Amino acid sequence: MSDKRGQCISGGEILLEQLLIQGVDTIFGYPGGAIMPAYDCLYDYLDRLRHILVRHEQGAIHAAQGYARTKGVPGFVMVTSGPGATNVITGVADAMIDSTPVVVVAGQVSSTLLGSDAFQETDLIGMTTPVTKWSYQIRRPEDVAWAVARAFYIAGSGRPGPVVLDFTRDAQIGKAEFEPRSCDFIRSYIALPEPSDEAIRQAAEWINAARKPLVVYGQGIILSGAEQALEAFLDKADIPAGSTLLGLSALASDNPHFMGMLGMHGNLAPNIMTQECDLLIAVGMRFDDRVTGNLSTYARNAKIIHIDIDPSEIGKNVPAGLGILGDAKEVLTRLTARIQPRSCPDWAMEPILCNAVEKHKVIDPEIHPESGPLNPGEVIAAVSDRCRGEAVILTDVGQNQMLAARYSRFTRSRSFISSGGLGTMGFGLPAAIGAKIAAPERTVIAFLGDGGIQMTLQELGTIMQEGTGVKIVLLNNNWLGNVRMWQELFFRERYSCTRMLNPDFRGIAEAYGIPCVNVESRDELGPAIERMLAGDGPFILNAHIREESMVFPMIPPGKSVDQIMLNAQDWFEYGD
Amino acid sequence: METESLYEITAYTENQVGLLSAIAGIFTRRSLNIEKLLVYPSKIEGIHKFKILTRASETQIRSVVLQIEKKVDVIKAYYAIDTQRSDQEIEDVKDFLSRREETNR
């Protein structure tokens, strides 16, 4: 227990004491005027609180997100007011839509100056309210411990999300008696809704009666720690399952029930099976438009059971015949007890047919090309194979992301971290720093494009200073690849503003003291991966990939999930 | 296209700075105009009440009400076309709060 209990200490010090009580060990941050009193207190706590000095506040929040998603605890960010605070907003919005627990403390001008347009004053609460689970301005040292305890409870419980605390300078300096606080109850907020027995009984009945049931799951499985519960459920009822982008790694890639990824660039099998199933069981996912395609035809033959912890998700996009409100692990465990053991022979054909076509038409040409320039998928598959599916895979946004999702193998949960809902370019590099700090014993690979890496390139400085052993695989073709692909397919090859003149990345790496190797041909790839993984330190593998790289299969925007392009010419025709 | 009607939304909340703008933002994001807005102490001590009139489809209203209720400091939110249910709501909110207090014990 803290020896500061009962003492009169400054608000800044109360913050740090309460952070220790919350179990925080790492602060991702950047100091500045309005947060300086708290940083001054931190000087005496650096033996207990590791501070990672990022190079831009956006890097701090993405690193905290990577940390939170790897470790399963809230990430913590400390920045100054004004620009320091506005620079974290992209990451706060990202954490909101991807349900990532992070707590941000931002400095604020003294309460006496609020509303006076003081230097570096900005209405942070006003700006972050729509993209936070909770935001609160701390104006008195007496409120610090309470607000921090409440912030961590809200961020980490129920459907997790970001919390912003706007901490005025005078509340950091002023003193109050420190009384450690804990928070596990707020009367207006139900973190864990109690699933209805009746709904579970009804769901079990539907599952027992279904001929072709399909599970579609999302990150809710990981957030709830329901990986084993899901596996047991699928085993008992012999139900195949497809994952959303953020659900990846909740089931091992070689799990016999795992059909692959859903949605726009997902695998054929789970998308086709969505249209063929007579019962769709959605768990901890929110029917994002990238998953559902055209909503009016989505799962058109199926009754739908939607299991989610957030009442506002049930029925939001897809009308659920049956909604079950509750924690995924609890609901799945109770459902498993209720259902009959069985097998689903009616599903025999779909996966075999779909997988054969996908392998022949898409996967083999992408990862085993006979000649020509390197394909991005080929690089990803080679790295993933070499890591035997044990690495934490981070991505940026775009083709690198979709291909990393498609061609990475996973053997354990919390191994795929990507900006899903917001699609934040620049996420990958700083998030990888946070992931490596959260799990130093694991190999952390960041697949980045040449566009995304340059949005937060300055974080190479953080890697240099901290010696963070992030392995960066740069899929470099001097194009904004995903936009270029859309221009080719949907904008009559009018390549508007997508060609990039890039710097010498090896020269940049060298300036930061990070080893880097350029890979230009197939022969160089294997040895470069070996070299990258040989040491514990950071590394950049700069892979020169095919300029006109594409990501297939693709469900074009607005199409149904069974209207799938296999390449620029061919459409998948199931059942013909 | 679903037909639009004038709905009355009521929300029972903690008395917190910023809640008005948090709730208003839910309407703005969906381009819903607030026709009438009242915020006042409810019949339950320490609990505030929002009364909001807006024109929308029932699907939109249902989603708005769930989003309002999702705010940490909102206790309960309701919607209806008729407005004869205020006492019923008060009983419902009281019941909710006493059950919550029990959970916390």
* A526 phi, psi to nearest 5 deg: -55, -55
Tokens of A323: 């909604």
> How close B50 comes to chain A (CA, Å)?
15
Instruction: Please report the beta strands in A73-188, taking only residues with DSSP state E, as ranges in sequence order.
Output: 75-79, 102-108, 134-138, 162-168, 175-177
- Residue A96: band (very low, low, confident or very high) from pLDDT cuts 50, 70, 90: very high
- Chain centroid to CA A560: how far? 25
With beta carbons under 8 A apart, name residues in chain A contacting B73: 188-189
Q: Is A552 inside any structural domain?
A: no
With beta carbons under 8 A apart, name residues in chain A contacting B94: none
Give the C-alpha separation, A426 to A323, whole Å.
36
| A187: nearest CB among B29, B66, B97 | B97
Q: Is B25 on the interface with A (CB under 8 A)?
A: yes
The reply to whether A331 and A379 lie within a common domain is no
> How close A472 comes to chain B (CA, Å)?
38
Give the C-alpha separation, B69 to B93, whole Å.
12
The reply to whether A390 and A323 lie within a common domain is no
Q: Which of residues 307-336 of A touch B (CB under 8 A)?
A: 310-312, 315-316
Q: Is B47 on the interface with A (CB under 8 A)?
A: no
Tell me, what CATH number does A421's domain have?
Answer: 3.40.50.970
The reply to whether A297 and A149 lie within a common domain is no
C-beta of residue A84 within 8 angstroms of C-beta of residue A111: no
> How close B97 comes to chain A (CA, Å)?
7
Residue in chain A closest to B105 (alpha carbons) equals A185
The reply to whether A82 and A121 lie within a common domain is yes
Mutation site, B49, B72, B74, interface A, largest A CB count within 10 A: B72
Contact B69 A311 (CB under 8 A): yes
In chain B, where are the structural domains located?
4-100
Query: Which three-class secondary structure state does DSSP give residue B100?
Result: helix
Residue in chain A closest to B71 (alpha carbons) equals A133
Residue in chain B closest to A189 (alpha carbons) equals B72
Q: Is B104 on the interface with A (CB under 8 A)?
A: yes
pLDDT in the model for residue A416? 98
List, for residues A6-57, the tens digit of each pLDDT value.
999 999 999 999 999 999 999 999 999 999 999 999 999 999 999 999 999 9
Q: DSSP of A389-427, one letter per residue?
A: T-SEEEE-SSHHHHHHHHH---SSSS-EE---SS--TT-
> What is the mean pLDDT of the segment spanning A301-314?
98
Tokens of A364: 């083999």
pLDDT in the model for residue A575? 67
Give the C-alpha separation, A309 to A161, whole Å.
13
Contact A187 B75 (CB under 8 A): yes
| B66: nearest CB among A133, A187, A312 | A312
Contact A129 B25 (CB under 8 A): yes
> What is the mean pLDDT of the segment spanning A133-146?
98
> How close A330 comes to chain B (CA, Å)?
18
C-beta of residue A489 within 8 angstroms of C-beta of residue A559: no
List, for residues A506-547, the tens digit of each pLDDT value.
999 999 999 999 999 999 999 999 999 999 999 999 999 999
With beta carbons under 8 A apart, name residues in chain A contacting B18: 125-126, 129, 135-137
Query: CA torsion angle for A552, A558, A559, A560 (degrees, to 10)?
Result: 110
* A475 phi, psi to nearest 5 deg: -95, 95
pLDDT in the model for residue A576? 52
Contact A187 B100 (CB under 8 A): yes
Residue in chain B closest to A192 (alpha carbons) equals B103
C-beta of residue B12 within 8 angstroms of C-beta of residue B44: yes
Residues paired with residue B65 on neighbouring β-strands, in sequence order: none
Q: Is A563 inside any structural domain?
A: no
Query: CA torsion angle for A57, A79, A168, A90 (degrees, to 10)?
Result: 30
Domain span including residue A437: 373-544
How many residue pairs from chains A and B have C-beta atoms closer than 8 A? Answer: 46
Q: Is A538 inside any structural domain?
A: yes
Give the C-alpha separation, A120 to A79, whole Å.
12
- Residue A306: band (very low, low, confident or very high) from pLDDT cuts 50, 70, 90: very high
Contact A312 B101 (CB under 8 A): no
- Residue B105: band (very low, low, confident or very high) from pLDDT cuts 50, 70, 90: confident
Q: Is A184 inside any structural domain?
A: no
> How many CB atoms are located within 10 Å of the residue A487 CB?
18
With beta carbons under 8 A apart, name residues in chain A contacting B21: 126, 129
> How close B30 comes to chain A (CA, Å)?
12
* A249 phi, psi to nearest 5 deg: 85, -5
Give the C-alpha separation, A65 to A50, whole Å.
16
Q: DSSP of A358-374, one letter per residue?
A: HIIIIIHHHHS-SSSSB
Counting the structural domains of chain A, the total is 3
Contact B70 A312 (CB under 8 A): yes
Q: Starting from the edge strand earliest in sequence, which strands make up the sheet with B48-57, in order?
A: B34-41, B48-57, B4-13, B74-80
Q: DSSP of B12-60, one letter per residue?
A: EE---TTHHHHHHHHHHHTTPPEEEEEEEE-SSTT-EEEEEEEEEEHHH
- Residue A573: band (very low, low, confident or very high) from pLDDT cuts 50, 70, 90: confident
The reply to whether A382 and A321 lie within a common domain is no
Contact B101 A187 (CB under 8 A): yes
| B21: nearest CB among A126, A190, A316 | A126
Buried b (16+ CB within 10 A) or exposed e, A6-44: eeebbbbbbbbbbbebbebebbbbbbbebbbbbbebbee
The reply to whether A382 and A327 lie within a common domain is no
Distances (CA, A) of A183 to A147, A154, A176: 9, 9, 19
Amino acid at position A192, single letter: L
> How close B84 comes to chain A (CA, Å)?
24
> How close B45 comes to chain A (CA, Å)?
15
> How many CB atoms are located within 10 Å of the residue A517 CB?
17
Q: Is A551 inside any structural domain?
A: no
The reply to whether A72 and A221 lie within a common domain is no
* B74 phi, psi to nearest 5 deg: -95, 130
The reply to whether A215 and A303 lie within a common domain is yes
Query: CA torsion angle for B85, B86, B88, B91 (degrees, to 10)?
Result: 170
Q: Is A137 on the interface with B (CB under 8 A)?
A: yes
Q: Is B73 on the interface with A (CB under 8 A)?
A: yes
- Chain centroid to CA B87: how far? 15
**Residue A345 predicted with pLDDT over 90:** no
Q: Is A571 inside any structural domain?
A: no
List, for residues A284-293, the tens digit of each pLDDT value.
999 999 999 9
With beta carbons under 8 A apart, name residues in chain A contacting B17: 137
Query: Which three-class secondary structure state does DSSP give residue B89?
Result: helix
Residue in chain B closest to A134 (alpha carbons) equals B72
Tell me, what CATH number does A220's domain have?
Answer: 3.40.50.1220
The single residue listed with the structure tokens 């309210």 is A129
List, for residues A315-341, the tens digit of each pLDDT value.
999 999 999 999 999 999 999 999 999
| A186: nearest CB among B66, B69, B72 | B72
Q: Is A364 inside any structural domain?
A: no
> How close A310 comes to chain B (CA, Å)?
8
> How close A318 comes to chain B (CA, Å)?
12
> How close B21 comes to chain A (CA, Å)?
8
Residue in chain B closest to A311 (alpha carbons) equals B66
Residues paired with residue A545 on neighbouring β-strands, in sequence order: A374
Q: Is the dihedral of CA A499, A505, A507, A511 positive or negative?
A: positive
**Residue B82 predicted with pLDDT over 60:** no
> How many CB atoms are located within 10 Å of the residue B70 CB?
18
List, for residues A171-217, the tens digit of each pLDDT value.
999 999 999 999 999 999 999 999 999 999 999 999 999 999 999 99
- Residue A348: band (very low, low, confident or very high) from pLDDT cuts 50, 70, 90: confident
The dihedral region occupied by A248, where left means phi > 0, alpha psi between -120 and 50, and beta the remainder, is beta
- Residue B35: band (very low, low, confident or very high) from pLDDT cuts 50, 70, 90: very high
Q: Checking DSSP bridges between strand B74-80 and strand B4-13, what pairing results, if any?
A: antiparallel
pLDDT in the model for residue A209? 97
* A192 phi, psi to nearest 5 deg: -120, 95
Tokens of A259: 């059909």
The reply to whether A40 and A152 lie within a common domain is yes
List, for residues A250-278, the tens digit of each pLDDT value.
999 999 999 999 999 999 999 999 999 99
Helices within A32-143 (DSSP H only): 36-42, 57-71, 83-86, 89-97, 124-128
pLDDT in the model for residue A2? 66
With beta carbons under 8 A apart, name residues in chain A contacting B74: 188
The single residue listed with the structure tokens 């370019």 is A425
**Residue A1 predicted with pLDDT over 60:** no
The reply to whether A162 and A210 lie within a common domain is no
- Residue B104: band (very low, low, confident or very high) from pLDDT cuts 50, 70, 90: confident
Q: Is the ipTM of this complex over 0.95?
A: no
> What is the mean pLDDT of the segment spanning A396-407?
98
What topology does CATH give the domain B4-100? Alpha-Beta Plaits (3.30.70)
> What is the mean pLDDT of the segment spanning B10-19?
94
Q: Is B58 on the interface with A (CB under 8 A)?
A: no
> What is the mean pLDDT of the segment spanning A474-480?
98
The reply to whether A389 and A501 lie within a common domain is yes
C-beta of residue A69 within 8 angstroms of C-beta of residue A433: no
Please name the residues in contact with B97: beta carbons below 8 A apart, sequence gap of 6 or more. Answer: A187, B44, B47, B75
Side-chain half-sphere of A76: how many Cα atoms within 13 Å?
Answer: 21
Q: Percent of chain B having pLDDT more than 90? A: 78
A553: cis peptide before it, omega within 30°? yes
Give the C-alpha separation, A219 to A249, whole Å.
9
With beta carbons under 8 A apart, name residues in chain A contacting B70: 310-312
The reply to whether A320 and A379 lie within a common domain is no
> How many CB atoms are located within 10 Å of the residue A231 CB?
20
